[in-house]
Amino acid sequence: MKRLFSAITCVLFCLILLGGTACADMGPKESLTITVINAPEGVYYLDLLQQDEDGAPNVDPEDYDPALVEGLRSWEGEGWYPALVHGTYPPLFGDLVPGEDGTHHFSYFGLPKTFRIAVSSADGVRATAEPFTRTVFHTELVYDYESNTVTRSTSTIGYYLTQFLSTLIPTLVVEGILLWPFGFRSRRSIEAFLVVNVATQAAMHLLLGSAILAVGAHYLYYLILLPVEVLILLAEAIAYGFLLRDQKVGRRVGYAVCANLASYAAGFLPLYLIAQFLLGRW
């Protein structure tokens, strides 16, 4: 009876989570946050200049001041196209004006990897001289309007530590909950669970990071995440088969499979939300 209860609990839990991820675009998306200091007086528009001419506008120009929009378009004559005003393919989320927190947020698959920052205001138009190339999944920049310069506000080490915690925390929560119905409640089992998850999460980020840096394309995150998760599942099934002692081997492997399915399904949304919290946006 206890085995039946554990199996039913696991299946229902996985189905609920998998159903939630299947009906919504909840996966982590590349993002860019720009904080402007010494901003111009009055209303100003900020956009990202890219050299890709293709795409559809990501904002409706009729909703904005035509003179300021035209200022952003003035760079098109030099082969630089404003990502929001001119458009991208695929789409890009963002706004020409700062958000309630005073920063500019850009996200989604159309986020250009290399870009210049352009500002249009009553004082005129200007853009950074040197293009900036993103090297991490979530990028935070500080743009000084007076000096027309850009600095990075998040270190690479700090970013990767944040990314690691963003997957480790929801994994420990989801897979830790499933320890109880599977009967793994001893101190030794909990210690083994913690050690195995820290090791496999570190290995996952090492594999993903190496692939992204080698090819220079962050969309690979989505292409190789599933096979990496399969490798992690196999590794954890073997590790738990040896390290967990509360139950028989079949129950240990069954826990590894169910726990990994549950954490994989639930991991996308927590990854994004926890990353925002750890980066100090909440």
Average pLDDT, the chain: 81
Cα–Cα distance measured from residue 84 to residue 55, given in angstroms and rounded to the nearest whole number: 10
For residue 141, name the pLDDT band (cuts at 50, 70, 90): very high
- Which pLDDT does position 163 carry in this prediction? 74
CA distances from 129 to 99, 117, 118 (A): 25, 9, 10
Asked whether residue 86 carries a pLDDT value surpassing 80, the answer given is: yes
Asked whether residue 186 carries a pLDDT value surpassing 50, the answer given is: yes
Q: What is the mean pLDDT of residues 130-135?
A: 90
- Which pLDDT does position 232 carry in this prediction? 87
Q: What is the mean pLDDT of residues 151-180?
A: 81
Question: Residues 30-81: pLDDT tens digits?
Answer: 889 999 999 999 999 999 999 999 889 999 999 999 999 999 999 999 999 9
- Which pLDDT does position 138 carry in this prediction? 79
Least confident of 95-104, 158-167, 194-203, 231-240: 158-167
Least confident of 2-11, 87-96, 153-162, 229-238: 2-11
